[in-house]
Homo-oligomer: A and B are copies of this chain.
Amino acid sequence: MTHAINGAQALIQTLADCGVEVCFANPGTSEMQLVTALDREPRIRSVLCLFEGVATGAADGYARIAGKPALTLLHLGPGYGNGLANLHNARRAFSPVINVVGDHACDHRALDAPLNSDIAAIVAPNSRWVGTVERTEEMGPMAARAFAESFGPPGGSATLIVPADSAWNPGGVAAAPPLHPGPGAVPPERVAAFATALRAAQKPVLLLNHSALTASALASAARLEAFGVRVLADTFVSRMARGAGRYQPGRFLYFAEAAMADLEGTDFMGLAGTSSPVAFFAYPGKPSRLVPEGCRVESLAGPGEDAGPALAALADLLEAPAQGPVVASFDYDPPEGELTPATIGASLARHLPANAIISDDGVTGSLGAWLATASAAQHDWLNLTGGAIGQGMPAAIGASLARPGAKVICLSGDGAGMYTVQSLWTMARENLPIVTIIYANDSYRILHIELARTGAGAPGKAAEGMLSLAGPSLDWVKLAEGQGVRAMRATDAAGFDAMLASAMQADGPVLIEARLAG
């Protein structure tokens, strides 16, 4: 017989029983009972974040590496709002996350106190499941339900709105860990039909993301390339196994007109772990659906399905070669001269330890690192999936906690980094072995490209001011040191290379401001 517990204890005990191990928290008054319950639960590590966007981005990064949800603890509607952008990104990565949003006590809600808001409405667009715990005895069962729902398939945010009295009242009962579905298996008939269609194609392409980008799924994709299928990964991958000895597919191009030119003549597009490609943004007179006219589109596995076994079955059915191509290891010379995205990439390839994780905030300059590290030590690459910048540093925190001891490298722009600059403090407090590289160009570089693409003519002074981060230039060394993170500034390729080598040896976090040439 369990002794009497309150709702908050039932919530935390249930989630700990489910195997939840980390809580990224930015609590307020309405979450004090939950903080107290966490205090008494040694199986869950509480990690304080000084801004909710750090907490939710960390939960996303954690889920991508751990394959299970972390908990976020958020303070009513505004607290969730602060974490919304990175939950949008998590939604696009199909990352399981459990958000616990503290609310006013049930009777208090009707009085519309200052912090009151329509939490259910705010959380709905980025939650695949929402529950409000109206009575304490529902807490344990709803926590178990939230855990199961976060796995989908496909995975996503399960959001539990917890009125303060449901947490503080006695009568809580921990619920048993629920069964939860894994990703769906692809039926053999679909694989067979897909094989038939693929065989009939003249110029087929196979597009991969999510479950199709594990090491074993990529090995099967490599066999398909050897069979004659062109294989591409989505522009933005949730997680991809990379490095020497692994297969590196091509990458779907970002700009619509470039992607369409690249796909010219393609008559079959197969999808594994992803959906039919669309342009990131629309532009006047440019295509939005990135599928050539007349090209047949077939899904082998959707985002909620396990593409790996389906790709293996497909390769077998097609009698593809038993082994496809893999990337050879390559030793880059120490880079010299100006500091550029390419030299940063070369340095990364040189110093990346095995089993590292690269968290890329969708930096304009990260292509250099992407290309160079294909032949580096084996690692995982996490990308910004939903386009809401400010995800790279938080995701690095979560990834680091999910793979203790591994080195995590975060690639961020100076613009993107400012959105969740508070991440640095959590890196310092938890002493996480994260190397953050800031691509510093005093600019929202991508917007200069985008403004030109609108055809609006050369920007005037006011427009130029909206895209520039100069005047004043951000000093990332001070921003990092101000939060307890060791930091340095590189202004040439050789200097950066030496700093990166040193940063890789550090126990805790290091930031390098990479001041780019030009």
Q: A51-B419, A425-B472 are in contact. Are A459 and B114 (CB under 8 A)?
A: no
Chain A stretch 152-183: residues in CB contact (< 8 A) with chain B: 164-165, 168
User: At the interface, yes or no: A25 with Cβ under 8 Å from chain B?
Assistant: yes
| Stretch from A328-336, A399-407, A473-481 contacting the other chain | A473-481
Q: A462-B39, A474-B483 are in contact. Are A85 and B92 (CB under 8 A)?
A: no
User: At the interface, yes or no: A482 with Cβ under 8 Å from chain B?
Assistant: yes
Which of the residues B88, B278, B484 comes within 8 Å of A472, measured between beta carbons? B484
**A25–B463 Cα gap in the complex (Å)?**
11
| Contact across chains for A451 and B35 when beta carbons are under 8 A apart | yes
Q: A168-B284, A386-B115, A482-B482 are in contact. Are A46 and B466 (CB under 8 A)?
A: yes
B residues in contact with A418, CB < 8 Å: 50-51, 422, 425
Chain A stretch 466-495: residues in CB contact (< 8 A) with chain B: 466-469, 471-479, 481-484
**A469–B49 Cα gap in the complex (Å)?**
10
**A280–B116 Cα gap in the complex (Å)?**
9
User: At the interface, yes or no: A441 with Cβ under 8 Å from chain B?
Assistant: no
User: At the interface, yes or no: A58 with Cβ under 8 Å from chain B?
Assistant: no
User: At the interface, yes or no: A104 with Cβ under 8 Å from chain B?
Assistant: yes
| Stretch from A76-84, A188-196, A264-272, A345-353 contacting the other chain | A76-84
B residues in contact with A122, CB < 8 Å: 84, 122, 125
Q: Which residue from chain B places its CB closest to the CB of A275 in the assembled complex?
A: B112
**A481–B454 Cα gap in the complex (Å)?**
36
Chain A stretch 217-266: residues in CB contact (< 8 A) with chain B: 236
| Contact across chains for A114 and B385 when beta carbons are under 8 A apart | yes
Q: Give the one of A36, A390, A471 with max B CB within 10 A.
A: A36
Q: A46-B465, A288-B108, A447-B28 are in contact. Are A164 and B115 (CB under 8 A)?
A: no
| Contact across chains for A284 and B165 when beta carbons are under 8 A apart | yes
What is the size category of the interface that chain A forms with chain B? Answer: 35 or more
Q: A111-B289, A114-B92, A463-B36 are in contact. Are A281 and B388 (CB under 8 A)?
A: no
Which of the residues B387, B429, B466 comes within 8 Å of A35, measured between beta carbons? B466
Identical copies in the complex: 2
User: At the interface, yes or no: A216 with Cβ under 8 Å from chain B?
Assistant: no
Which of the residues B25, B84, B484 comes within 8 Å of A78, measured between beta carbons? B84
| Contact across chains for B117 and A88 when beta carbons are under 8 A apart | yes
Q: A279-B113, A281-B104, A282-B108 are in contact. Are A463 and B125 (CB under 8 A)?
A: no
A217 to chain B, nearest CB (A): 21
User: At the interface, yes or no: A27 with Cβ under 8 Å from chain B?
Assistant: yes
Which of the residues B40, B48, B281, B468 comes within 8 Å of A164, measured between beta carbons? B281
Q: A466-B35, A482-B482 are in contact. Are A111 and B472 (CB under 8 A)?
A: no
**A113–B82 Cα gap in the complex (Å)?**
22
Q: A88-B117, A121-B124 are in contact. Are A454 and B48 (CB under 8 A)?
A: no
User: At the interface, yes or no: A506 with Cβ under 8 Å from chain B?
Assistant: no
| Contact across chains for A472 and B429 when beta carbons are under 8 A apart | yes
Q: 18 A-B Cβ contacts within 8 A?
A: A28-B447, A32-B456, A36-B463, A46-B465, A50-B469, A51-B418, A53-B82, A77-B84, A81-B82, A81-B85, A104-B281, A108-B278, A108-B281, A421-B421, A473-B484, A475-B482, A475-B484, A478-B482
Measured CB to CB, the residues of A under 8 A from B are: 25, 27-30, 32-33, 35-36, 38-40, 46, 48, 50-51, 53, 77-79, 81-82, 84-85, 88-89, 92, 104-105, 107-108, 111-115, 117-118, 121-122, 124-126, 164-165, 168, 236, 275, 278-282, 284, 288-289, 385-388, 390, 415, 418-419, 421-422, 425, 428-429, 446-447, 450-451, 454, 456-457, 459-463, 465-469, 471-479, 481-484
Please name 13 further chain A to chain B contacts, defined as beta carbons within 8 Å, in addition to the given A51-B419, A53-B82, A473-B484, sorted by A numbering.
A32-B456, A33-B456, A35-B459, A39-B461, A50-B415, A79-B388, A81-B82, A82-B390, A104-B282, A117-B126, A425-B472, A474-B483, A475-B482
